[in-house]
Amino acid sequence: MNAITPNAPALPAPVGLLAELTHRCPLRCPYCSNPLELDRRSGELDTATWQRVLTEAAALGVLHVHLSGGEPTARNDIVEITQTCAKLGLYSNLITSGVGGALAKLDALYDVGLDHVQLSVQGVDAANAEKIGGLKNAQPQKFAFAERVTQLGLPLTLNSVIHRGNIHEVEGFIDLAVKLGAKRLEVAHTQYYGWAYVNRAALMPNKADVDRSIRIVEAARERLKGQLVIDLVVPDYYAKYPKACAGGWGRKLMNVTPAGKVLPCHAAETIKQLEFWYVTDHSLGDIWANSPAFTAYRGTDWMQEPCRSCDRREKDWGGCRCQALALAGDAAATDPACSLSPLHAKVRDLATEEAAETPPDYTYRTIGSNVQPNVRSPLNEEVSL
């Protein structure tokens, strides 16, 4: 059944593995990319299983491993797992909040060959940052962590998720990145899946502020050329074209959850009809090639119009499937972030309206809560045109 047929292009190997080692995290950010139903510690994969998964990933062609969570340093075996990456030649990227036990483990991670650290910062002003992250005294811990990263000579990237509560701080994030000695800064406008979807009305910035933030980043890129690389992720709802989610479904990235479920992207579980396979039942290579969740939206055969005949279909791959489901009610629809989607104008209006209203309080992420998204949809009649 796996015979190569003349018309089928060879399946490219994945380049990245997002290893969500745990969903546990001291922070409670209201835009967390983790699913609403968080895995508990008792269900997490053990060390040996992660090591097997990493070995399979290296053989499959994965080059970068993103050690993420939750807070990955909450795992007692984070050093062993990082060491396994180094032994396999995998590029290890620690995606961390820098709080809790992170600093205490940093030197050991350096010693076993950690390649890169991506540190999240929720805000520039400490009170604002700690309100967003939902943890007191987080900011000084983050700064101490960043200082040790650069002292060790590890490359540091600062990641700032931008939304209504901190969009006025974009200049501050750039200055902070320079001050902390980061080589890269991610100015990533919130993507509205998972917890961010629940909190959309509290997070959605207005168009004028978004445009201003983009101008600030563009000016800083010129000014700091050769010193700081700034990656900018623009917000979908105000964009013209959607982004190629995870570089295209099942094309570049695999995401393994704490319990070992393998997803094409971290939000894919919101598409309830998909069948996901577990690393405990299948090899990573088998999952990549044959898991129903990966084959469902790989390539272009599944597309509807306007994607199907669009020149950009192999550029953005129809955008985000999860967003298509959430906003258009059909995971195979064109992502409404795309200006070619019939729903695009409604989505933009929705964002504009939400951004103009008084923001509701955050719904912080917690394990074991029973949060259900209760946000307006462009499909609802109540949305004015």
Partner 1 sequence: MTAPFPTPVTDESQRLLSPDELAAALRDIGARRYHNLHPFHRLLHDGKLNKDQVRAWALNRYYYQAMIPIKDAAVLARMEDASLRRIWRQRIVDHDGDAPGDGGIERWLKLAEGVGFTRDYVESTQGILSATRFSVDAYVHFVKERSLLEAIASSLTEMFSPTIISERVAGMLKNYDFITKDTLAYFDKRLTQAPRDADFALDYVQQHATTPQLQRQAMAALTFKCNVLWTQLDALYFAYVAPGMIPPDAWTPGTGLVPEAAATTTAQAAGTGTLGPHDVPRLPRGVRLRHDAVRDQHVLLAPERTFDLDANAVAVLEYVDGTRTVRDIAGLLAEKFTADRAVIEADILVMLNDLATKRVLER
Judged by CB under 8 A, the residue of 80, 91, 302, 353 near partner 1 is 91
To partner 1, the closest distance from the beta carbon of 72 in angstroms equals 16
Q: Is 307 annotated as a binding residue?
A: no
Binding-residue pattern over the window 152 to 171 for partner 1, x denoting contact by CB under 8 A:
-xxx-x--------------
Confirm or reject binding of residue 89 to partner 1 (CB under 8 A): yes
CB 56 within 8 A of CB 283: yes
Residues 6+ apart with CB under 8 A from 383: 346, 349, 350, 353, 376, 377
Residues in region 26-85 near partner 1 by CB under 8 A: 59-61, 63-64
Concatenated DSSP letters of 254-322: EEE-TT-BEESSTTGGGSTT----BTTTS-HHHHHHH-HHHHHTSSSTT--TTTTT-TTTTTTTTS-HH
DSSP character at residue 12: P
- The residue (of 227 and 304) whose beta carbon lies closer to partner 1 is 227
Q: How far is the CB of 216 from partner 1 (least distance, A)?
A: 14
Site for partner 1 in 116-145 (CB under 8 A): 116, 118
Residues 246-285 interacting with partner 1 (rule: CB under 8 A): none
184 vs 282 by CB, closer to partner 1 = 184
Residue 56 beta carbon to partner 1: minimum distance, rounded to whole angstroms: 12
Q: Which residue is listed with tokens 């959607």?
A: 242
Which stretch in 19-27, 113-121, 289-297, 357-365 sits in contact with partner 1 by CB under 8 A?
Answer: 113-121
Q: Is 161 exposed, middle or buried (0-12, 13-18, 19+ CB in 10 A)?
A: buried
| Bridge partners (DSSP) listed for residue 67 | 19, 94
Q: What are 162's strand-pairing partners?
A: 189
Q: Left if phi > 0, otherwise alpha if psi is -120 to 50, otherwise beta: which for 318?
A: left
Site string for partner 1, 213-252 (x = CB under 8 A): ---------xxxxxxxx-x---------------------
CB of 154 to partner 1, least distance (A): 6
Beta bridge partners of residue 120, listed in sequence order? 159
- CA–CA separation, 10 vs 1, rounded Å? 14
Of 52, 183, 282, 312, the residue at the interface with partner 1 (CB under 8 A) is: 183
CB nearer partner 1, residue 215 or residue 223: 223
Name the minimum Å distance from CB 141 to partner 1: 22
CA dist., res. 186 & res. 274, Å (int) = 31
| Binding footprint of partner 1, residue count (CB under 8 A) | 28
**Treating both helix axes as pointing N-terminal to C-terminal, what angle do 170-180 and 207-223 enclose, rounded to 10 degrees?**
30
Cβ(96)–Cβ(72) under 8 Å?
Answer: yes
Q: Establish whether 245 is an annotated binding residue.
A: no
Q: Considering only CA atoms, which of 314, 270, 268, 313 is closest in space to residue 287?
A: 268
- The residue from 93, 96, 139, 191 that contacts partner 1 (CB under 8 A) is 93
> Whole-number minimum distance, CB 224 to partner 1, in Å?
7
Binding positions for partner 1, rule: CB under 8 A: 13, 15, 59-61, 63-64, 89, 91, 93, 115-116, 118, 153-155, 157, 183-184, 222-229, 231
| Binding site as annotated, residues for [4Fe-4S] cluster | 25, 29, 32
